[in-house]
Amino acid sequence: MVFVIRPLEPGDVAEIEQLAYTYNCELDAEVTRMEAVKRWIAHVQQEAAARRHFFWLAWVDDQVAGFISFQLRHNPFTRETYGFIEDMYIAPTFRRCGYAHALAQAAYTELTNQGAYSIQLDVLANNKAALAFWQKLGLTLHHYVLSMPLAVPRNK
């Protein structure tokens, strides 16, 4: 088996849109819409082309096993640069093979090389597996993010 981590390329878009759709359905199938996923991937492509965002793919042989989406952020108060991992997903057939760990380590290395002093990410409150994964890699609880809808959601 050949395992490779590389940035998203234009020829990958259709396959990544489908994988991202599957990912979002796992998180919340009721609200996931393909058109929203396509907007997200198009936005990520633009940000990656402008070098403001990283979207890397994990390939196993000729199949996409997963992805990680991350960026550098700056805290104006502390003046520190930190890495923010926005999303990471491994397709079910590739889980428990070390690919998530490899993607996370690749992101850590890139963020460190880019000057980040720490890493942050959000985990959905009901995603116990993701929370356990990130804690196993050394991340600790820093703060809570609370949310509440203010109006009836628009069609997305």
Cβ contact 99:136 at 8 Å: no
Between 147 and 156, residue with greater pLDDT:
147
Which residue's structure tokens are 């057939």?
A: 93
The token pair at 36 is 């929203």
pLDDT score of 146 more than 60: yes
Beta bridge partners of 119: 83
Query: Residue 98 and residue 12: Cα distance in Å, rounded?
Result: 22
pLDDT of amino acid 33: 93
Q: What is the CATH number of the domain that holds 119?
A: 3.40.630.30
What integer is the mean pLDDT of 145-150? Answer: 88
Task: Say yes or no to pLDDT of 13 above 60.
Answer: yes
Entry pTM: 0.88
pLDDT confidence band for 156 (50 / 70 / 90): low
Q: Determine, yes or no, domain membership for 149.
A: no
Mean pLDDT of 66-92: 95
pLDDT tens track for 29-64: 888 899 999 999 999 988 988 888 999 999 999 999
Range of the domain at 67: 3-136
Question: According to the model, what pLDDT value does residue 121 have?
Answer: 95
Q: Coil, strand or helix: which one is 148?
A: coil
Name the burial class of residue 93, with classes exposed (0-12), middle (13-18) and buried (19+) by CB atoms within 10 angstroms of its CB.
Answer: exposed
150 falls within a domain: no
Q: Domain count of the chain?
A: 1
Closest residue by Cα to residue 1 from 69, 58, 68: 58
